[in-house]
Amino acid sequence: MSTLTIFEDTAPGQAVVQTSDPAQIAALLKPFNVRFERWEGPEIPPRDADETTVLTAYRPFLDRLMGETGAGSADVLRVNAQTPNYGALRKKFLSEHTHSEDEVRFFVHGSGHFVLHIDDRIYDVECCQSDLISVPEGYKHWFDGGPAPDFVTLRIFTHKEGWIADYTDTDLAQRFLVYPQ
């Protein structure tokens, strides 16, 4: 279930708000220009479908989204028990960072937590199948797919270089671990 949990950035473990109502999640994030939507419509391609099949299934949605955001490319990120070096990949995402473009992601299968650090609060957005999230450029955040990931996501990029992060070098992600280690 998609869930938003909000904390003060000084108080891990003490949620101030929690909701699993998608409309409420969207409404709580909208004031910060964070977009959260559910896309129901296309028949969901099988978990092991190849990249072209997944992109083709979502083409009309992607074209609209890329038109709205000016993004130039899309790919499919698949992470599961077969993913080599998952420990290193998880670490790369699980440290507070920013990007110089919006981070636009859509969950075709599985789930993961996008955790945003806005002003003095932490917004833990658990995204699930059929959820779209867009985190504005420059926003501090991290991502955790958990210790046993199994997700397929569409990623939309504006820059030709693909995924580039600027790390903030804080330990916030470690203090707000979704999956305590």
Ligand X SMILES: CSCCC(=O)C(=O)O
C-alpha distances (whole Å) from 129 to each of 47, 107, 134, 168 are 11, 5, 15, 29
**Minimum CB distance to Ni ion, residue 20 (Å):** 7
Binding mask 138-167 vs ligand X (x if CB under 6 A, - otherwise)? Answer: -----x---------x-x-------x----
Q: Which of residues 71-130 bind ligand X (CB under 6 A)?
A: 77, 93, 103, 105, 112
Query: Tokens in use for 32?
Result: 């910060």
**Minimal CB distance to Ni ion: which residue?**
1
C-alpha distances (whole Å) from 163 to each of 92, 112, 179 are 11, 17, 24
**Minimal CB distance to ligand X: which residue?**
143
Name which of 103 and 144 has its Cβ closer to Fe ion: 103
In the list Ni ion, ligand X, Fe ion, none, the entry touching 1 (Cβ below 5 to 8 angstroms by class) is Ni ion
141 assigned binding-site residue: yes
Q: Which of residues 40-69 bind Fe ion (CB under 5 A)?
A: none
103 assigned binding-site residue: yes
Q: Which of residues 1-40 bind Ni ion (CB under 5 A)?
A: 1
Binding mask 76-95 vs Fe ion (x if CB under 5 A, - otherwise)? Answer: --------------------
- Residue 125 CA to residue 29 CA, distance in Å, equals 10
Which residues lie near ligand X (CB under 6 A)? 77, 93, 103, 105, 112, 143, 153, 155, 163
Which residues lie near Fe ion (CB under 5 A)? 103
Annotated binding site: 97, 99, 103, 141
Which residues lie near Ni ion (CB under 5 A)? 1
